[in-house]
A = this chain, B = another copy of it.
Amino acid sequence: MAETVNIKRLAQELNISIATVSKALNDSYEISLKTKNRVWTLAKELNYTPNPAASNLRSHKTKTVAVVIPCVANNFFSLSIKGIEEIARQYGYHVLIYQTHENIEAEVAFTNSLLSGRVDGILTSVSSSEYNSEYYTNLVKKIPLVFFDRVYENLDAVKVTTDDYEIAFEATVHLIECGCTKIAYLYGLENLPAGKARFAGYADALKAHQLEVSEQLVVKYSDDEETNLQQIKTLLQVHQPDALFSSIEEFIIPAYCACKELCLQIPSAVKILSFSNLSTAPLLNPSLTTITQPAFEIGREAAKCLFKILHNKQLDDEQNIVLKSMLIKRDSTAC
Binding site for B on A (CB under 8 A): 1, 47, 49-54, 56-57, 62, 64, 71-75, 77-79, 81-82, 85-86, 89, 94-99, 112-113, 115-118, 142, 252-253, 256-257, 278, 280-281, 283-285, 288, 296
Name the residue on B nearest A98 (C-beta).
Answer: B85
CB-based contact B99/A86 at 8 Å: yes
Q: Do B82 and A253 touch (CB < 8 A)?
A: no
When chains A and B are docked, how far (Å) is the Cα of A94 from the Cα of B47?
A: 26
Q: Among B62, B99, B116, B296, which residue has its beta carbon within 8 angstroms of that of A85? A: B99
The residues of B that contact A62 with a CB separation of less than 8 Å are 53
26 contacts between A and B (CB under 8 A): A1-B142, A49-B115, A49-B116, A51-B57, A52-B116, A53-B56, A53-B117, A57-B57, A71-B82, A72-B85, A73-B81, A73-B296, A78-B78, A82-B99, A85-B97, A85-B98, A94-B96, A94-B118, A95-B98, A96-B97, A97-B97, A252-B280, A252-B284, A257-B283, A280-B281, A284-B285
Contacts of A257 in B (CB 8 A): 283
Number of copies of this chain that the complex holds = 2
Q: Main SS of chain A's interface residues?
A: helix
* Interchain nearest-CB distance for A139 vs B (Å): 12
Among B49, B72, B252, point to the contact of A81 (Cβ < 8 A): B72
Determine whether the beta carbon of A53 is less than 8 Å from that of B49: no
Closest residue of B by beta carbon distance from A142 = B1
Are B52 and A118 in contact, with the CB atoms below 8 A? Answer: yes
Q: With A53-B62, A280-B278 given, is the CB distance from A82 to B72 under 8 Å?
A: yes
A280 surroundings in chain B (CB, below 8 A): 252-253, 278, 281
B85 touches A117 (CB 8 A): no
A74 to B79, CA, bound (A): 9
Contact of A96 among B74, B82, B95, B281 (CB under 8 A): B95
CB distance from A283 to the nearest CB of B (A): 6
Bound Cα distance A51, B252 (Å): 44
Question: A273 → chain B, closest Cβ, in Å?
Answer: 14
A64: B residues at CB distance < 8 A: 96
Inter-chain CA distance A1–B283, complex, in Å, is 51
Those 5 A-B pairs whose CB atoms lie nearest each other, nearest first: A53-B56, A49-B116, A78-B78, A284-B285, A53-B57
Q: Which residue of B lies closest to A281 (CB)?
A: B284
CA distance A99 to B94 in the complex (A): 11
Taking a contact as CB atoms under 8 Å apart, the answer to whether A116 and B51 are in contact is: yes
B residues less than 8 Å from A53 (CB atoms): 52-54, 56-57, 62, 117
